[in-house]
Amino acid sequence: MQPLENEINPKMVRVWKISSLITSGIGLIITIAYFIFMMKFDWTGWIFGALVIGLLAYAPLGYLVFPSLRQRYYSYELNEEEMEIQKGMFTVERVLVPMIRIQHITIEQGPIMRKFDLAELKISTAATAHSLPGLTMREAERLKRQIAELAKVSDEDV
């Protein structure tokens, strides 16, 4: 399946890698804490084994493989009638969001994304919300204004 016209910013790969390191660090702390409690209170060892296996499987994949694949398979396209979003590494999902259904748009920016001047655009409809991560702040603001204008025009046509 061909990616859509616009891809997310490649700097988002670094954000996802940092996020993966944080998640792996928390997983390591939980695993060490469980090991200490296992030794002190004679807890079950198979849970510790599962934690170690999960951490060993997630850490390299979450840091080395998944961020670049997520960036490669996340794209979007905007036209006057709808916004199309494509995402997914293993199961590719293409969503059409009609302009007439959009209720509000928000821009979110956590501390890591702020460091890289990236933002996430969230598009809400009555049924659900869709997001576009890895946009530059300027691009997110531009898309927000453009979608708001197109949604208003679509709403007036009804």
pLDDT at 158: 43
Please check whether residues 66 and 91 belong to one and the same domain: no
Q: Is the model's pLDDT at 156 over the cut of 80?
A: no
pLDDT at 128: 93
pTM: 0.87
71 burial type by CB count under 10 A (0-12 exposed, 13-18 middle, 19+ buried): buried
Q: Tell me what the mean pLDDT of segment 63-76 comes to.
A: 93
Give the range of the structural domain holding residue 116, as residue numbers without chain letter. Answer: 77-157
pLDDT category of residue 1 using cuts at 50, 70 and 90: low
Q: Tell me what the mean pLDDT of segment 126-140 comes to.
A: 94
Please check whether residues 47 and 29 belong to one and the same domain: yes
The residue behind tokens 């890895």 is: 134
Residue 130's contacts (CB-CB under 8 Å, 6 or more residues apart) are: 83, 85, 95, 97, 122, 123, 124
Give the 3-state DSSP-derived string for 69-129, with helices as H, strands as E and coil as C: HHHHCCEEEECCCEEEEEECCCCCEEEEEEHHHEEEEEEECCHHHHHCCEEEEEEEECCCE
Report how many domains make up the chain.
Answer: 2
pLDDT at 89: 84
Asked whether residue 1 is domain-assigned, the answer is no
Q: Is the model's pLDDT at 15 over the cut of 60?
A: yes
